[in-house]
Chain A
Amino acid sequence: MSLQVVTANRLDDGLAVFMTADEGWSTDIRQAICAGDAEQAEALLARANTQKQQITVVGPYLIDVANEDGVLVPIKYREILRTLGPSVRPDLGYQAG
């Protein structure tokens, strides 16, 4: 099984976010807490799905990631786009810096 992190959209502005070790949320996937097996992944998702989290994020789910030289990168192209922004508008989204 590949590594997994929890992602969601932030409730107030809708931006893509990733769960951090302290159960907070970061717009930077590199800050995400990573699960190494299915059990850890389920536990992470449970922490993201609490009633308290409901007022911070919408629809948390697990995504597969790879550790590339110490940097977490999603495996699916859809999720790569969520870490960057629209490929047709490099001036927008996280990729714009």
Chain B
Amino acid sequence: MYRYDDFDRQLVAERTTQFRDQVARRLSGELTEDQFKPLRLMNGVYLQLHAYMLRIAVPYGTMNGNQMRMLGHIARTYDKGYGHFTTRQNIQFNWPKLNEIPDALEDLATVEMHAIQTSGNCIRNTTTDQYAGAAADEIEDPRPYCELIRQWSTFHPEFTYLPRKFKIAVTGSPNDRAAVRVHDIGLRMHKNDAGETGFEVIVGGGLGRTPFVGKTVRDFIGKNDLFSYLEAILRVYNRFGRRDNKYKARIKILVHEVGVEEISRLVEEEWAKIKDGSLRVSDDEIAQYIAQFAPPAFEELRDNDPEFERRKQAHPDFAAWVRSNVIAHKQPGYAIANISLKPIGGIPGDATAEQMELVGDLADQYSFGDVRVTHEQNLVLPHVKKAELFALWAELKNAGLATANLGFVTDIIACPGLDYCALATARSIPLSQRISERFGDLDRQYDIGELKIKISGCINACGHHHVGHIGILGLDKRGKEFYQITLGGDASQDASIGKIAGAGFSEAEVVDAIEALITRYIDIRNVGERFIDTYRRVGMDPFKEVLYGDR
């Protein structure tokens, strides 16, 4: 795992000192709120409905045990004993006091954490596959490139005041778990005809009020050229991106208005000027970063552990958890263990201080001190011996962390919604809780199969509803919450934006509407079809029919 060098340490320490001074000046009245707001936002401090919110960066979703325990400490010391893992692989705390946030940031810095690039119109925290370095299907670990992107983008002087925020996601696997096609830039690792590893560069994807699947500006860029190429894209965006209208300022609008051919031409033109400059990264430098993310000291094991098989036979609960939450590892005898933060009827993505501390300990004990945050608001222990899965599961179960629902109907993404967020138009969490309760029975979930429900409490789409197989958007209709359903969205390598099914539903009606959709799917699915497959085969009409009848 990447360790800070002296530059990183100095950077974070100086930033914390600066922010302490800025907070003191705001509290004394020396700074007005108008002056202070951009400064606090650059340090991840928002003001929400009930209190401030502090968003802490988890670069590319990777943490060690100490860092996870520190999040528990922050929850207990500066908040109300819990935190909320987000769709950006970050964590946010809902109740910090402004005058205590500098202390919290100082505590975080002791474990090489911070709140940089979690807000503002900069290049945000880079996200990636939560199974990086562990997945059986990956070409190469994407994190060395994510770390290089972090170093290139952090406090980049040219890109601190972009037209709008800018999000980059990277996948090292053909099975995209990082939703790269709906980011400002998505990087998909693949090999060219010469057998070299590089990236497809996808630009202009995004959700929000104007969703787009990104478009490919270049099918292959070599590793050495990646960073100059990113710089060229950012320069084109910084120059031509619209600053006249906040709602048209993202690069997706530029790509849409100008066309991908023209964007590609501008990028190539800019890149030609800088490609042989200081941003060209040598093979030696890349090798140093790959070494930082070298695999842990795996033991040579047989892939099948008889004890593991016996435990599954003896404990159906454990077998269910293995079936849904445990994923193949590239190293024989190891597995990837997903920790669901979606207990039935619970709040998606929330974890208590005790749970965070326990997961930090379990990471040390079972997973070489490695723990991940997923954009679907769950946690992962990426390197667990199959022989130890049962012991891990037993500890997770005791802490309410062994819900066996990964990728199923109750594994719902939900934004904080109107329960916390100042921008929201409706609540998201209570709806996710009611859906979770309605479909909580495990056998029923397994019968339904993979189904991604994603809920946003406003048009900004933090809950990714546009790419939910079933998406739900909460709106305000004459002072009442009401919910619009979209179908057919997908965040994977087959990315698509969902289509609105029709008129929205009241809070009282919407869970029945979701159940009607699922019942229709079960009635008409072919063997082996997931909800999204059936939708793609039959289209919207059979689903519209159950929602609206003759309406």
Q: Is the CB of A16 within 8 A of B49?
A: yes
Known contacts A12-B97, A14-B51, A58-B47, then 13 further A-B pairs from the complex at CB < 8 Å, ordered by chain A residue: A9-B47, A11-B27, A12-B27, A13-B52, A15-B51, A54-B33, A55-B27, A75-B479, A81-B418, A85-B50, A87-B430, A88-B427, A93-B50
Q: Chain A residues with Cβ under 8 A from B94's Cβ?
A: 86
Name 10 A/B residue pairs within 8 A (Cβ), A-sorted: A14-B47, A14-B50, A14-B96, A58-B33, A75-B479, A77-B480, A81-B49, A85-B50, A87-B419, A93-B50
Complex alpha-carbon distance, A76 and B424, angstroms:
13
Interface residues of B in 405-419 (CB under 8 A from A): 418-419
Partner of B50 from the list A16, A75, A88 (CB cut-off 8 Å) is: A16
Complex alpha-carbon distance, A92 and B84, angstroms:
15
Q: Chain A residues with Cβ under 8 A from B32's Cβ?
A: 54
Give B residues with C-beta under 8 Å from A: 26-29, 32-33, 47-52, 80, 94-99, 347, 418-420, 424, 427, 429-430, 433, 479-481
Q: Please report whether the interface of chain A is mostly helix, strand, loop or mixed according to DSSP.
A: loop
Q: Is the CB of B479 within 8 A of A14?
A: no
Partner of B97 from the list A14, A55, A92 (CB cut-off 8 Å) is: A14
Complex alpha-carbon distance, A89 and B419, angstroms:
9
Shortest CB distance B445–A (Å) = 22
Q: Is the CB of A55 within 8 A of B29?
A: yes
Given that A13-B51, A14-B98 are known contacts, is A88 also in contact with B418, CB under 8 Å in the complex? no
Q: Is the CB of A77 within 8 A of B97?
A: no
- Kindly name the residue among B49, B96, B98, B479 whose own CB sees the greatest number of chain A CB atoms within 10 A: B49
Q: Is the CB of A87 within 8 A of B97?
A: no
- Give the residue name and chain of the A residue nearest to B33 (CB): A58
- Give the residue name and chain of the B residue nearest to A93 (CB): B50
Q: Is the CB of A9 within 8 A of B51?
A: yes
Complex alpha-carbon distance, A89 and B84, angstroms:
13
Q: Chain A residues with Cβ under 8 A from B481's Cβ?
A: 77
Complex alpha-carbon distance, A89 and B346, angstroms:
11
Complex alpha-carbon distance, A88 and B455, angstroms:
16
Q: Is the CB of A77 within 8 A of B418?
A: yes
Interface flags for A1-37 (1: CB within 8 Å of B; 0: not) read: 0000000010111111000000000000000000000
Q: Chain B residues with Cβ under 8 A from A14's Cβ?
A: 47-48, 50-52, 95-98
Q: Chain B residues with Cβ under 8 A from A76's Cβ?
A: 479
Q: Is the CB of A88 within 8 A of B433?
A: yes
- Give the residue name and chain of the B residue nearest to A76 (CB): B479
Shortest CB distance A6–B (Å) = 16
- Give the residue name and chain of the B residue nearest to A75 (CB): B479
Given that A77-B479, A87-B427, A88-B430 are known contacts, is A82 also in contact with B49, CB under 8 Å in the complex? yes
Complex alpha-carbon distance, A23 and B98, angstroms:
22
Complex alpha-carbon distance, A92 and B75, angstroms:
14
Interface residues of A in 60-78 (CB under 8 A from B): 75-78
Shortest CB distance B100–A (Å) = 9
Complex alpha-carbon distance, A93 and B97, angstroms:
14
Complex alpha-carbon distance, A90 and B430, angstroms:
12
Shortest CB distance A79–B (Å) = 9
Complex alpha-carbon distance, A50 and B51, angstroms:
22
